[in-house]
Amino acid sequence: MKTIQLYDTTLRDGTQREGISLSVEDKIKIAQRLDQFGVHYIEGGWPGSNPKDAAFFERVQKMNFKTAKITAFGSTTKKDTPPEEDKNIQALEAANTPVVTIVGKTWDLHVTEVLETSLDNNLTMIADSIAYFKSRGKEVIYDAEHFFDGYRANPDYAISTLQSAANAGADMVVLCDTNGGTLPWEIEEYFRDIADLVKVPLGIHAHNDSGVGVANTLAAVRAGAVQIQGTVNGYGERVGNANLCTIIPDLQLKMGYSCVPNENLECLSELSYYVSEVANLPHDRHAPFVGESAFAHKGGIHVSAISKNPIAYEHVSPEKVGNRRRVIVSDLSGKSNIEYKARELGIETGGNGFDSRKIVDEIKRLEALGYQFDAAEGSLELLIKKVTGQFEDPFNR
């Protein structure tokens, strides 16, 4: 079974989401939990950008991580500035991490209009920055920013930037869909186009602006990517990054790849909830695999079927990702919903289904009047007990 490297950028790209601000202590806690889960690379931040990230890297130097390598992120040297004199490069070196991730320009538009330098000079900036860290014994990952936009605009130049990074010693070249505008079949096509042109392993960094960040990541793996970059819960700038909480079980349970040990995969939902709690954000109850509603069944026909065989309406077993099956009762329910919930609550109902039918009829009547039971299990329990004659008034004993 082929292993796919997990590169988590929750602590850097994830914090660019509107409404997230992690303290140094928050980042340490999340990094420790990611390490326990089995992530291979944890991108801690951009040490040259703010004091908080610099403090994080100072703290983690004194810590031991069992699985993960801590990675510092930063850009190539500025134009006409040797690495030895570039403040950003020196901040990356001071972070003292075993891995450095360098981001560079791939799209000619960015080179000429944003960096305001020549195409050739950009190639030199990429090569010099990577060679500098390789000479100091670092593992270097090169993030090719805006690769897919650049490849569409000027394929020869986009490829030349990747080759410049590879020739300088980059250990991994990651193709970034920075604007999130590329579609899955394009991702797969472009990966296959360059597979024989860049002689280092390839990775994928996808954003979700077109709603296909997960699909793009899976397409890249199909085409040969061996590293996936993403964030827990898909946190990130604009509409977010590719969601590792969806990608990992897709790869491991559906596509035959190995990301983490199976027993760790069972902690995925816990990890998702933990990060949302530390980030002080509500957890997405409808998130695939890890959401509270991911394995919730409301329709009577559905519940009848899963009572006989859960695979009838579940694409994977919820326990494999640390989640659980839930049955919801509402005016859409049938007898199966009631009988399932009664068993769950430890309440006996008549074996002939008469009680269940009476309970369903009463729920439908009440919901027509405006009551709601799918989020009121205590009220549901009382109703079932009253209809079945098992209710005892706690104030008249």
Maximum average pLDDT range among 117-121, 271-275, 295-299, 313-317: 271-275
Query: For the stretch 172-193, what's the b/e string if a residue is b when 16 or more beta carbons lie within 10 angstroms of its beta carbon?
Result: bbbbbbbebebebebbbebbee
List the single range of 89-103, 201-215, 304-318, 382-396 with lowest mean pLDDT. 382-396
What is the mean predicted confidence (pLDDT) over 85-106? 95
Contact (CB, 8 A) for 165 and 142? yes
Does the structure show a pLDDT above 70 at 331?
no
Amino acid at 311: I
List the structure tokens of 260.
């983490």
- Local structure of residue 77 (DSSP, 8 states): P
> For residue 50, what pLDDT band results from cuts at 50, 70 and 90?
confident
List the structure tokens of 215.
């699909």
Q: How far apart are CA 177 and CA 151, in angstroms?
A: 11
Does the structure show a pLDDT above 90 at 361?
no
What is the mean predicted confidence (pLDDT) over 269-290? 96
- Comparing C-alpha atoms, which of 185, 195, 181, 267 is closest to residue 226? 195
- In the prediction, which pLDDT does 195 show? 86
What is the mean predicted confidence (pLDDT) over 203-214? 97
Does the structure show a pLDDT above 90 at 77?
yes
- In the prediction, which pLDDT does 1 show? 75
- Comparing C-alpha atoms, which of 299, 302, 353 is closest to residue 331? 299
Q: How far apart are CA 348 and CA 355, in angstroms?
A: 10
- In the prediction, which pLDDT does 341 show? 64
> For residue 302, what pLDDT band results from cuts at 50, 70 and 90?
confident
| The residue to which tokens 């186009």 are assigned | 193
- For the chain, strand residue ranges (E) read 5-8, 41-45, 69-75, 99-105, 139-145, 172-177, 202-206, 227-230, 296-297, 326-327
Within 10 angstroms of residue 273's Cβ, the number of other Cβ atoms is 16
**3 state DSSP class of 45:** strand
Domains of the chain are: 5-260 (3.20.20.70), 296-387 (no CATH)
pTM score, two decimals?
A: 0.86
List the single range of 48-52, 63-67, 256-260 with lowest mean pLDDT. 48-52
